[in-house]
Amino acid sequence: MNLILVSLVFFYVAGRAGAQSIDLITDASQSKVTGDGLNVVTTGSTAKFTIRAMDQTNTPRTAGGDLFIVDVTGTATFSPSVVDMLDGTYVCEYTPIVSGSYVASVVLAQSGGLQGLYYENVWFFEPVVRQNVDPQINFQWGNGYITASAQDFVSIRWTGRIKTQFAEVYTFALTSDDGVKLYVDGRPIIDKWDSFTNDTLGTIALQANRLYSIKIEYKEVTNTAYMQMYWMSERTPKSIVPSTVLYYETNVYQSPFEFIVQPGSVVSTSCVANGAGLQVATAGKASQFTIKSVDQFGNSRGVGGDSFSVHIYSKEPLKRPDQGSTVDNTDSSYSVEYTTFIAGEVVLSVLQVIAGGIAATYYTSASMNSGTAIAARDSLDIKNSAVTIDYTSAGALVVTFAAARSYSVRWKGLLLPELDQIFTFTVGKRTPFQWENVTLYLDNYEILTTGNGNLEYTGTIDLRKSFFMILRLCTKLESQYQLFLEVPK
């Protein structure tokens, strides 16, 4: 038998002298923003981006609990909310309504004081000679040094957030030598820049549990220096503002971000027309006015490309309207010139031109004055439970009602002829069909009207190339049917 001697050795491994473990927390400078919500967005559309919290080692955080804040300044100012997804990501959504250029500041807010920037002059001129988080604004420098090398001619700017506990009026009190200014939520509360303060007061109404921006500017000229900030409210005793309600901010990676909010599509009901030609015109002489193209929020489009049609109606029965000419100035404005040859009161109509269909209202009764409208606009292939709209390759409009019941329809839109000539319009000759009282108008002129039955009806009119004609088609419908309107090219 062979015996094996086994030795057990116990040993201790010591760490390097001076080595310390790293407390991994969120590092704003490593945290990143992703998404298209800070590139180019459109008014009225929801923009979205995500903040990814990272620690000091550039590793993604996997839990929530941080406080990220987004402030947007530029043509307008707003602060969109940020939602903690509890997985280390934070989602920000907003819907802008004012177009223009913007800057978004994305910061991590942490409690414990305000960020202080110290300057060795009284005008906040660079460089910053000292930068640190000051837990409270409660300093008694006396005749000592405020910075490493300056007792006098010093300025300090503190910035960050202040968190309220109650919804009530807060009073801030500043005691300083020399000058001081206080801003809360972007509003000036105290301004004693050219003299010392002795418990100078300023008030502001604030909501509960909200973080408000705060900025304090201080300057020391000569002699004794001190600076203290107190607050009080109905349920808050007067005290130095504590560090627990003060938050300093650090920009995330690449913040602030510059981005553009572009105007949305033109909305005719928001567009504005201006000019002398809208008030008085002289028969036989040209009159002018201007159309300004805007989106639904009144933002100037800034570019051309929209289309408008101008019609001038007289009081003379059955007279076709005069038309104005429109010039695209390519800056969202459109110059209009028109000439009318009949004196008297006229009505001027300005219509936005939208290709692809004609506006319509479908009623669930044979009378257009009663029943329920079941559709509002036709497109090239709109369909719903009651109506099918199609356009043939030859340019014909075919409307099919599926249900066997009574309807009435009123179409209204614009027709753009491709040639100068006499055009013939045809209604009918499709099966199965059954209608009564179909009437077609072009430029306020009745082209054709039908009885009921299965006959084909036609009407002619002389049209001019490149002028938009106002088309109206009205009909009362009984039972299941197809209505066929042939629009010639």
Q: Which residue has the tokens 């009081």?
A: 315
Query: What are the strands, taking DSSP E only, across 23-123?
Result: 32-34, 40-42, 47-52, 68-74, 82-84, 89-94, 100-111, 114-119
Please report which confidence band the pLDDT of residue 385 belongs to, taking 50, 70 and 90 as the band edges: very low
CA distance 111 to 65: 13
Please state, in angstroms and rounded to a whole number, the distance separating the CA atoms of residues 42 and 338.
35
pTM for this predicted structure: 0.75
**DSSP per-residue string spanning 175-235:** EEES-EEEEETTEEEEEETTS-EEEEEEEEEE-TT-EEEEEEEEEE-SS-EEEEEEEEETT
Phi, psi of 313 (to 5 degrees): -105, 135
pLDDT 10s digits, 283-342 = 999 999 999 999 999 999 999 999 999 998 888 777 788 889 999 999 999 999 999 888
Q: What are phi and psi of 83, to 5 degrees?
A: -105, 125
pLDDT confidence of residue 317: 73
More confident residue, 157 or 472: 157
Q: Letter for the amino acid at 403?
A: A
The amino acid sitting at 409 is V
Q: Is 436 helix (H, G, I), strand (E, B) or coil?
A: strand
Q: Which helix (H) or strand (E) covers residue 236, if one does?
A: strand 236-240
Of 230, 185, 182, which Cα lies nearest the Cα of 212? 185
- Bridge partner residues of 410 (DSSP): 361, 474
Q: What is the rounded distance in angstroms from the CA atom of residue 30 to the CA atom of residue 53?
A: 8
Average pLDDT, stretch 347-375? 70
Q: Is the pLDDT of residue 172 over 70?
A: yes
Q: Which H or E run includes 412? A: strand 407-415
Beta strand pairing call for 407-415 and 359-363 = antiparallel
What's the pLDDT tens digit per position in 241-286? 999 999 999 999 999 999 999 999 999 889 999 999 999 899 999 9
Residue with tokens 């109905």: 234
- Average pLDDT value for the chain: 84
Is pLDDT above 80 for 442? yes
Which of 11-25, 62-76, 217-231, 309-323 comes out lowest in average pLDDT? Answer: 11-25
Alpha carbon distance 314, 319 (integer Å):
7
Strands 333-338 and 197-206: unpaired
The full set of domains in the chain, from first to last, is: 32-111 (2.60.40.10), 137-241 (3.90.182.10), 268-352 (2.60.40.10), 359-486 (2.60.120.1560)
Confidence of residue 450 (pLDDT cuts 50, 70, 90): confident
User: In this predicted model, what pLDDT tens digit does every residue of 137-147 receive, in sequence order?
Assistant: 999 999 999 99
pLDDT at residue 430, as a whole number = 52
How far apart (Å, rounded) are the C-alpha atoms in residues 181 and 268?
A: 48
The number of angstroms, rounded, from the C-alpha of 322 to the middle of its chain's C-alpha atoms is 39
Quick one: what percent of the chain has pLDDT higher than 90?
59
Of 370, 312, 358, nearest to 485 (Cα)?
358
Whether pLDDT at 9 is above 70: no
How many whole angstroms separate alpha carbon 457 and alpha carbon 474? Answer: 14
pLDDT for the residue numbered 233 = 97
Which pLDDT tens digit goes with each residue over 80-107?
999 999 999 999 999 999 999 999 999 9
Cβ–Cβ under 8 Å, residues 446 and 439: yes
